[in-house]
Amino acid sequence: MSVHPDFYTFGEAMALFLTSDTDSVLDAKTFTRSTAGAEGNVAVAISRLGLRAHFYTHVGEDQLGTAVLQDFLAEGVDVSAVKRVPEFTGTMVRNPGTTRPVDSTYLRKGAAASTISPDDIDLKVLRNSRWVHATGITCAISTTACDAVKFALDKSREFDIPRSLDLNIRRKLWSVSEARRALEPLARDLNLLIGGEDEYASVFGESDSLKAMALAESRGCQNVIMTNAAQPIRYLINGEYGELTPPKVKAVDPVGSGDAFTGGVIAGLLGGISVLQAIEQGTISGARVASQFGDWAGLPTGQNGLIDPAIMVEMGRKGR
Give per-residue pLDDT as tens, 31-50.
Answer: 999 999 999 999 999 999 99
Is residue 242 classed as helix, strand or coil in its secondary structure?
strand
In a domain, residue 1? The reply is no
Mean local confidence (pLDDT), 79-107: 94
In a domain, residue 2? The reply is no
CA pseudo-torsion sign 15, 21, 27, 29: negative
Per-residue pLDDT tens digits for 287-312: 898 877 766 878 999 999 999 988 88
Contact 203, 173 (CB under 8 A): no
Instruction: Count up the domains in the chain and report the number.
Output: 1
Per-residue pLDDT tens digits for 20-33: 999 999 999 999 99
Per-residue pLDDT tens digits for 130-163: 999 999 999 999 999 999 999 999 999 999 999 9
- Assign 252 a pLDDT band (cuts: 50, 70, 90): low
Rounded CA gap, 285 and 298, in Å? 8
- Assign 253 a pLDDT band (cuts: 50, 70, 90): low
Give the number of other Cβ atoms within 10 Å of residue 287's Cβ. Answer: 24
The DSSP 8-state label assigned to residue 162 in this structure reads -
Measured at the CA of 295, the angle between CA 130 and CA 267, to 5 degrees, comes to 20
In a domain, residue 76? The reply is yes
Residue 251 scores a pLDDT above 80 = no
Range of the domain at 12: 7-24+31-314
CATH, residue 214: 3.40.1190.20
Closest of 228, 225, 230, 227 to residue 252, by C-alpha = 230
Q: What is the pTM of this model?
A: 0.94
Contact 48, 75 (CB under 8 A): yes
In a domain, residue 319? The reply is no
